[in-house]
Amino acid sequence: MFKRLVSKWKKISVRGGTMAMLVCVNTVIILLLSLGAFAFFQKSFVNEIAGARSDVLRQIAERARQFKTNIYTLSNLYYNDSRFLEAAENLDEENKEKFFRYMDELTEQLQVSFNQVNLDFYVVYLSENGIGYCSAPAPEDYDYMNPKTKIWYRDLYHSEGAIVDVASYRDRLLGITAYTAVRTVLDSQGEIIGYLMISADERQLYQMYSEVISEESNIYVADGEGRIVSSNRDTIIGFSYFHMENLEELFGEQNHIITKISRRDALFTRYSDSESGFTVFEEIPLSEVLHPIESIRVVVIILALLALAGGTVMAWGFSGRIAAPLRKLCSDVRQVEDGDLNQTFTIQSFSEINDLSTGMARMLARIRELIENVRTQEEEKRRLEFNWLQAQINPHFMYNTLFSIKCAVDMGHNEKAGHMLTAFIQLLRGVLSGSEQMVTIRSQMEWIRQYIELQRFRYDDAFDALVECDERAANCRIPKLLIQPLVENAILHGVDMAAGNGMITVIARRQGDTIAIQVEDNGAGMTKERIWEVMTAKEDVDRPHLGVRNVHERIRLHFGEGWGLHIESAPERGTQITLSFPALE
């Protein structure tokens, strides 16, 4: 993708490129200014909204505090009533009706008083001996909120008569989710004789703030443990919904944050009331908060587009002025490309373009002076380099082979010496005869067979060899003596002659329009570092034909940069060298 973009960019004219860059710069500046201004305004607007919502939450927290205070006051009024304490201490089956009548009278009086603050409550009392009272109509199987079966009983037991909050008690038999203040009732010796519970329907607290809730916002009144005391989401009331320590870290010293809620951005606001211990949270989708400024967003977009259009018109005119002399210079250069080396450059424009025109004129004169010399030198260099790289036979190999034939004759192995001499003569005929630089793979592979046979004579058959040629590749042509250096390296450096189990394979195949020749041995192998050294280090100047790198360079010299050889090897795993080049019939 990146290469295609670069390729397309190279085809753009100077005017088009200049205009594109100017438009891009204008676009970036306009976008940064527009987005920056709008983001600043949006942030200020959100802060204003958050401040307003914090005031609303403060009012809700004050009402929740008053709600809690009223219930605490009722609990204290009952607990500090001497007749209630006396009746509770002497409560049994005989006088429970009298106790119930007194509780009804006292509750009725208090209900009249607290109706003035719009608090509707009910009281439940459960004695230690199992006698229960409820001011609200209760079914026969009502358990009177038996504290001993509740998870908050431990706190109640150790409270010694102090009030314990039960954030939201689901009184299922009465069908009420209630905020309850619970305390133990103690006798004169400090022993528990019963449990007093003052409860008010949570919906009374909800009604205090229901009018400020929108369709998509949520409000939560939570206690210090994160339990929901009241919320418009009644399904979570009474549950530990918030981790207060985490929220404290999240908010820090702020009273609002922007966060993800239900996979969308939302304004999350809080207000903590230290007196009641309540914290009021509100979450509002950010889209709802920002809805009033949508018209401002449209205005900013329109202004940005107008500014961009004006910048584009100016960029078109400015780029045309820059491009005109460059187009003339390009026209002159194209004439030079077409072979007119007598072209002159006389452009008068910006100082940089004038300097470029003058420099190109001097350069063209120098090119005319050097081009013939360079061409001649390069052709001579290529001829000499090719002649130097083309196949030669190692003088040491010739000496060692002739010496081996002499030793065979001296030892009376005339038949073996004859075979060696025949193979050596055929090898020399294949190398020295003819002036062609390119030969068929079939003849090259036949020459390799003769070469390997001669080497096996020298080393007393210390290794085996396999030479194969795909018939489809046999008539394709390759540089002369291209494979021999690799086979020689496999014999000298790859195969362990002492072990006597060496194996060398040379296989030529055609794969579509590509020839692949593999030279493989099962010898000592090479590390990755050694492979890198072989492919990059300079070769011994006295023995260039043995160099793997020289074979690689010969392939590239003949067929181009995209071809060459590849080495795969590992210590003790042998070596495989693959030559790749195009199939030339």
DSSP string, 40-60: HHHHHHHHHHHHHHHHHHHHH
CA terminus-to-terminus distance, the chain = 37
DSSP 540: P
- How far is residue 476 from each of residues 472, 508, 551, measured CA to CA in Å? 8, 11, 18
- What is d(CA 243, CA 307) in angstroms, rounded to the nearest whole number? 49
- What is d(CA 136, CA 174) in angstroms, rounded to the nearest whole number? 8
- Per DSSP (E only), the strands in 206-337 are 218-222, 228-231, 256-261, 264-272, 279-285
Query: What is the per-residue pLDDT for 543?
Result: 47
- What is d(CA 298, CA 303) in angstroms, rounded to the nearest whole number? 9
What kind of fold does domain 390-582 have according to CATH? Heat Shock Protein 90 (3.30.565)
Residue of 459, 454, 456, 448 lying closest to 421 (CA atoms): 454
Query: What is the per-residue pLDDT for 581?
Result: 93
Beta carbons of 478 and 484 less than 8 angstroms apart: no
* 159-176-138 Cα angle (round to 5): 85
DSSP 443: H
Parse the chain into domains and list their residue ranges: 47-291, 341-387, 390-582
- What is d(CA 426, CA 415) in angstroms, rounded to the nearest whole number? 17
Sign of CA dihedral 514, 519, 522, 525: negative
| Kind plus residue range of the DSSP H or E element containing 112 | helix 96-114
pLDDT in tens, the chain (585 residues): 555 655 655 556 666 767 777 778 878 888 888 777 777 777 887 888 888 888 999 999 999 999 999 999 999 999 999 899 888 888 888 898 999 999 999 999 998 888 877 888 999 999 998 899 998 888 888 888 888 888 888 888 888 889 998 877 788 777 888 889 999 999 888 889 999 999 988 888 888 888 888 888 899 999 888 888 888 888 888 888 888 888 888 888 888 888 888 788 889 899 999 888 899 999 988 888 777 777 777 777 887 788 778 778 777 777 666 666 666 666 667 766 666 666 666 666 666 666 666 766 677 667 777 776 666 665 555 554 555 544 444 555 566 677 777 777 877 777 777 777 877 777 777 666 555 678 899 988 988 888 888 888 878 888 899 999 999 999 999 988 788 888 888 888 888 777 778 899 999 999 999 999 999 998 888 888 888 888 876 555 444 334 688 888 888 888 888 899 999 998 888 899 999 999 988
Query: What is the per-residue pLDDT for 544?
Result: 38
Side chain identity at residue 242, one-letter code: F
**Residue 87: both structure tokens together:** 């009746």
Query: What is the per-residue pLDDT for 352?
Result: 64
Query: What is the per-residue pLDDT for 335?
Result: 67
Beta carbons of 579 and 517 less than 8 angstroms apart: yes
Q: If you write DSSP's letter for every residue of 122-139 in order, what string do you get?
A: EEEEEETTS-EEESS---
**Residue 583: both structure tokens together:** 């199939």
Beta carbons of 319 and 18 less than 8 angstroms apart: yes
Residue of 71, 80, 82, 84 lying closest to 114 (CA atoms): 71
Q: Decide: pTM greater than 0.95.
A: no
Beta bridge partners of 179: 200
Determine how β-strand 463-469 pairs with β-strand 502-511. Answer: parallel
| Kind plus residue range of the DSSP H or E element containing 88 | helix 82-89
Beta bridge partners of 178: 169, 201
pLDDT tens digit sequence for 134-178: 988 888 888 888 888 888 888 888 888 899 988 777 887 778 888
| Three-state SS at 491 | helix
| Kind plus residue range of the DSSP H or E element containing 144 | none
**Residue 27: both structure tokens together:** 């676009």
- What is d(CA 472, CA 555) in angstroms, rounded to the nearest whole number? 20
Beta carbons of 200 and 119 less than 8 angstroms apart: yes
What residues contact residue 133 under an 8 Å CB cut-off, 6+ apart? 99, 100, 103, 123, 124, 125, 126, 144
What residues contact residue 487 under an 8 Å CB cut-off, 6+ apart? 448, 451, 452, 504, 506, 519
Torsion of CA 39, 41, 44, 45, to 10 degrees: -110
Kindly calculate the radius of gyration of the chain based on its CA atoms and give it in whole angstroms: 50
**Residue 161: both structure tokens together:** 């008569």
Beta carbons of 329 and 357 less than 8 angstroms apart: yes
- Is the CATH number 3.90.1150.10 carried by domain 47-291? no
Beta carbons of 13 and 21 less than 8 angstroms apart: no
Reduced DSSP (H G I as helix, E B as strand, rest coil) percent helix, strand, coil of the chain, to 5: 55, 20, 25
